[in-house]
Amino acid sequence: MISIRAVTMIAAGWVCCLLCVQQHAAHAGVITATNAQFANVDGGILAKRPVTFLGSEPGFALGAIADVNITIEFAKADGTNPNPPYPTTFDPFFNEINFELISPNGTSVMLIPVNTFPGAPATNAFNGLVYDGTITLDDEAAQTVNIQAMLAGMPNSGAFRPVNPLSAFDGLNALGTWQLWIGDEVGDDTLRFRSYTLTITTVPEPTSWACWGLAMGALVLLRQPHR
């Protein structure tokens, strides 16, 4: 027969397991933050756009980072007017675009450095090029951000790997203020920044794994022969 002590351990293990499943669903997962403050960026002057995680967001858990993705919406065209229609007299120099993400502890990743994208054709043979779209930077994407750009002569919308990996943030804590630095090196063909969304996947709380261990131990106890 199974002793009362063994029954108690088995019951406690599985109750703990069920509670931890609920806890895992409620406290570990994905957190997001968006900054949609518009910026006209030109002439080598950086725009800085913050987002802040307070630690109370659903899915924050202990804040340990397992993965980071970022989605950036912007336009790049001739002239300086903030809204379309944009001038098409000359092609913009897409190679001036640069984006850098900085974590609360100061770790920085240059996502898209200067000269990632191609410059305007020297003869302006393709007058009227305008980029207006959204790029998601994700370490798990199939291609690096500049591959399709070089083929098209300008940035492409879609999901791409950044030039430098976002995995530099893995293991850090998401708590605090993050900064996206937006740059465009030369004047008269402004980068029109619209918004970005930072998406962070957090690591499950360690107690979840402890509970699973207790539950599995109870199962082993149940399967042992008893006198």
Average pLDDT of adjacent 10-residue blocks, the chain of 227 residues: 54 50 57 98 94 96 96 95 90 93 98 88 63 97 84 85 98 98 93 98 71 52 53
Q: Are residues 142 and 170 in the same domain?
A: yes
Domain count, the chain: 2
220 and 147 share one domain:
no
Dihedral sign (CA 32, 35, 41, 46): negative
Boundaries of domain holding 17: 1-28+204-227
Residue-level length of the chain: 227
Assess contact for 186 and 169: CB atoms under 8 A. no
- 113 cis-preceded (ω within 30 degrees of 0): no
The predicted structure's pLDDT at residue 192: 98
Name every residue whose Cβ is closer than 8 Å to that of residue 58 and which is 6 or more positions away in sequence. 26, 27, 29, 31
Q: Are residues 132 and 169 in the same domain?
A: yes
Q: Of 63, 6, 13, nearest to 211 (Cα)?
A: 13
pLDDT at 119: 76
Q: Nearest Cα to 166, choosing from 86, 88, 108, 92?
A: 108
Q: Which helix (H) or strand (E) holds 40?
A: strand 39-41
| Residues in CB range of 144: below 8 A, 6 or more apart | 160, 161, 162, 163
110 and 214 both lie in a single domain: no
Distance CA 214, CA 167 (A): 32
Q: Do both 35 and 100 map to the same domain?
A: yes
